[in-house]
Amino acid sequence: MKKVIYPGTFDPVTNGHIDIVKRAIELFDEVVVTVAKNPTKTCLFTVEERVEMLSECFREFSNVTVDWFDGLVVEHAKQLGAIGIIRGLRAVSDFEYEFQMALMNRNLADDITTILLMPHAKYTYLNSTIIRNLAQFKGDVSEFVPQVVEQRLKEKFSY
C-alpha cells in the first residue's frame, strides 16, 4: 500500500488544495493531508480549526486522512510510513522553493520522494493569502474554497 503525505499550513484550505489531493488519490492508495504547525507563521485559523475544516472537506474519501505535525516533514512522513511527500506546483515561481525543499528532504531521508503535482489551470493563481485578504474585505470567496471554509471565514471576519 502506497501512502503519501500532503503537508501545508492550509490557512485556509482552498479548492486548489482539494484539487491536488484528488489528483494524488488517483496515484496513491492513501493520502494523509497534514497541517504544519509553523511557529514562524501567524495563522488566521488554529491548527485544530484547520484540521476540522480539512476533515469536513475530505469526509467522503475513505483513503484520505487528516492530521497535523510539528517538526520536520520528512520525520513525519517516516512516522506515518509514507513513501512520498506531495507538493503543489502552481507556477514557475513556486519551482525554485519546492526544488530546494525537495533536495533538502532527500538529503535528510533519501527513501522519501517528493512528488510535485500541478493543479487545474483555474487554480494556478490561487493561494491562501489571497483568500484571506479577499474574505477580510467581504469579497465573495465561494468560487475558491469549500463551503465549510467560506462559512468559517465569514465567522472569523464577523459578517
Residue 158 is among the residues annotated as catalytic for this protein? no
Is residue 154 annotated as part of the catalytic site, yes or no? no
Total-model pTM = 0.94
Q: Say which amino acid occupies 11.
A: D
128 is catalytic: yes
Catalytic residue selected from 87, 128, 132, 152: 128
List of residues 6+ apart from 152 with CB closer than 8 A: 12, 45, 49, 53
- Residue 79 falls in which region: left (phi positive, over 0), alpha (psi -120 to 50) or beta: alpha
Alpha carbon distance 142, 29 (integer Å): 30
Please state, rounded to an integer, the average pLDDT across all residues of the chain.
Answer: 95
Active site residue 138: no
The total number of residues written for the chain in this structure: 159
pLDDT at 133: 96
Q: Are 105 and 113 in contact, with CB atoms under 8 Å apart?
A: no
State the total domains in the chain: 1
Torsion of CA 81, 64, 33, 125, to 10 degrees: 130
Pull the grid cell for residue 59: 469526509
Check 41, 62, 93, 158 and give the catalytic one. 41
CATH number at residue 76: 3.40.50.620
- Residue 41, domain extent: 3-156
What is the rounded CA–CA span in Å between residue 51 and residue 41?
17
pLDDT by residue (tens digit) across 73-123?
999 999 999 999 999 998 888 899 999 999 999 999 999 999 999 999 999
Instruction: Give the pLDDT confidence of 134-147 residue by residue, as tens digits.
Output: 999 999 999 999 99
From the candidates 23, 50, 87, 90, which is the catalytic residue? 90
